[in-house]
């Protein structure tokens, strides 16, 4: 796998896609044409990935078209701040990699405020009695989703930006709780856990987007690998690195048997054969941060296998095909975060040092 060549092919394609989708915030694509969540659902949890992808390309190439597309989407996202009830635990996905990257690169005041607002929204979800950041709204008082580990880097950033340790404190208490309640002894993870909002003990676990209770949803596994790796990077606390490696070892033991591309759920029946390329792309990004050759080797194997599912044609919009929403959702479709993480992994392998999270 020649990563420089792959990067060039991504750039050839995305520099055209950036122009075509300049006024959109895509989630998926239909017949090779991006949809537009900016019009249909501005608070949708994936809306940071398009500007985030544009920032990866900007950082990696310096091309202004990417910066323009990223900033256009960032401005559109302001409408989401007006829908308080529509916002949720995924504000890190939405702003840390959009306005957050813009601010880290250019120090613009509006980008700083957007990112700090998002951090405050996330911090305000912290339950001090239970010791966790709650997921979702409504009556899900104690639900915590493994994906939350990817949102808390926003808090590590806010702690530094404000010079106020509260944000990191909240992030670490949450990470410690997820480590205990979501990571199982064999390294597989629970997707959703219901915790008692008064004392934080585990009440119940759910299958979430996986096959069922006790199953093993591969994208959740990938969120755990990369999420704990990021908590280690931001805090230097070795227990988070150990957790990321434990989740990674389990993931690798599952995918090395089946050609490195993840099935949607590692514990679902063999048929129907459902795969999720997004899980593999996210896991590859996490594996590359674990600091051992065996993990880098696994990431390379994974990305090589994903090449079979890439569409490098500049005339179509999506890059990574065959993602999955959930075991009981839509399958084998392009999803914007698949493009984001595949591109981020290739960026890392070409020597890119900017940490987008």
Which residues carry out catalysis? 90, 147
Smaller CB distance to ligand GLY: residue 42 or 192?
Answer: 192
Smaller CB distance to ligand GLY: residue 192 or 252?
Answer: 192
Smaller CB distance to ligand GLY: residue 42 or 69?
Answer: 42
x-or-dash pattern for ligand GLY, window 167-206, by CB under 6 A? ----------------------------------------
3-state secondary structure 35-95: CCHHHHCCCCCCCCHHHHHHHHHHHHHCCHHHHHHHHHHHHHHHHHHCCHHHCCCCHHHHH
CA pair distance 215, 190, nearest whole angstrom: 8
Q: What are phi and psi of 165, to 5 degrees?
A: -70, -10
CA pair distance 127, 131, nearest whole angstrom: 6
Which 238-257 residues touch ligand GLY, going by CB under 6 A? none
Q: Which of 245, 225, 348 is nearest to 294 (CA)?
A: 245
Smaller CB distance to ligand GLY: residue 116 or 279?
Answer: 279
Smaller CB distance to ligand GLY: residue 147 or 168?
Answer: 147
Q: Which tokens sit at 300? A: 């390379």
Q: How many chain residues interact with ligand GLY (CB under 6 A)? A: 3
Q: Which tokens sit at 313? A: 């044609």
Question: Three-state DSSP class for 333?
Answer: strand
CA pair distance 225, 253, nearest whole angstrom: 14
C-beta of 357: minimal distance to ligand GLY in Å?
A: 15
C-beta of 13: minimal distance to ligand GLY in Å?
A: 24
Among 209, 221, 305, 343, binds ligand GLY (CB under 6 A): 209
The C-alpha angle 98, 102, 108, rounded to 5 degrees, equals 130
CA pair distance 179, 264, nearest whole angstrom: 22
Among 125, 219, 300, 348, binds ligand GLY (CB under 6 A): 219
Q: Which tokens sit at 202? A: 């585990």
**Position 147 contacts ligand GLY (CB under 6 A):** yes
C-beta of 5: minimal distance to ligand GLY in Å?
A: 30
C-beta of 219: minimal distance to ligand GLY in Å?
A: 5
Smaller CB distance to ligand GLY: residue 60 or 208?
Answer: 208
Question: DSSP string of 237-305?
Answer: -HHHHHHHHHHHHHHHHHHGGGTTSPBSBTTS-SSS--B-HHHHHHHHHHHTTS-SHHHHHHHHHHHHH
**Position 339 contacts ligand GLY (CB under 6 A):** no
CA pair distance 49, 289, nearest whole angstrom: 20
Q: Residues 335, 327: contact at Cβ < 8 Å?
A: no
CA pair distance 33, 28, nearest whole angstrom: 8
C-beta of 189: minimal distance to ligand GLY in Å?
A: 12
Smaller CB distance to ligand GLY: residue 147 or 317?
Answer: 147
CA pair distance 150, 230, nearest whole angstrom: 8
**Position 74 contacts ligand GLY (CB under 6 A):** no
Name the residues that contact ligand GLY, by CB under 6 A.
147, 209, 219
């Amino acid at each position: 796998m020649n990563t420089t060549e792959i990067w060039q092919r991504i750039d050839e394609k995305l520099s055209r896609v950036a122009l075509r989708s300049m006024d959109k915030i895509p989630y998926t694509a239909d017949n090779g044409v991006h949809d537009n969540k900016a019009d249909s659902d501005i608070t949708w949890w994936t809306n940071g990935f398009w500007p985030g992808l544009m920032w990866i390309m900007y950082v990696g190439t310096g091309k202004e078209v990417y910066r323009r597309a990223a900033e256009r989407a960032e401005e559109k996202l302001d409408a989401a701040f007006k829908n308080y009830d529509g916002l949720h635990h995924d504000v890190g996905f939405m702003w840390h990699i959009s306005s957050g990257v813009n601010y880290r690169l250019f120090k613009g005041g509006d980008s700083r405020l957007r990112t700090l607002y998002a951090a405050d929204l996330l911090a305000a979800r912290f339950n001090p009695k239970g010791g966790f950041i709650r997921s979702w709204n409504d009556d899900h008082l104690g639900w915590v989703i493994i994906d939350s580990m990817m949102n808390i880097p926003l808090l590590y950033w806010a702690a530094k930006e404000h010079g106020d340790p509260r944000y990191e404190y909240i992030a670490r208490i949450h990470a410690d709780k997820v480590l205990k309640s979501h990571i199982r002894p064999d390294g597989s993870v629970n997707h959703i856990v219901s915790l008692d909002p008064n004392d934080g003990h585990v009440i119940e676990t759910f299958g979430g987007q996986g096959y069922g209770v006790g199953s093993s949803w591969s994208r959740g596994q990938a969120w755990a690998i990369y999420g704990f790796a990021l908590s280690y990077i931001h805090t230097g606390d070795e227990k988070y690195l150990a957790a990321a490696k434990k989740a990674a070892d389990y993931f690798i033991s599952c995918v090395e048997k089946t050609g490195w591309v993840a099935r949607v759920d590692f514990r679902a029946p063999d048929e129907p054969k459902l795969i999720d390329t997004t899980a593999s792309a996210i896991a590859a990004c996490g594996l590359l941060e674990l600091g051992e050759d065996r993990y880098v080797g696994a990431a390379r194997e994974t990305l090589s296998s994903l090449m079979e599912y890439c569409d490098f044609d500049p005339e179509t919009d999506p890059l990574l095909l065959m993602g999955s929403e959930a075991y009981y959702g839509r399958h084998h479709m392009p999803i914007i975060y698949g493009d984001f993480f595949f591109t981020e992994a290739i960026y890392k392998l070409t020597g890119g040092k900017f940490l987008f999270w």
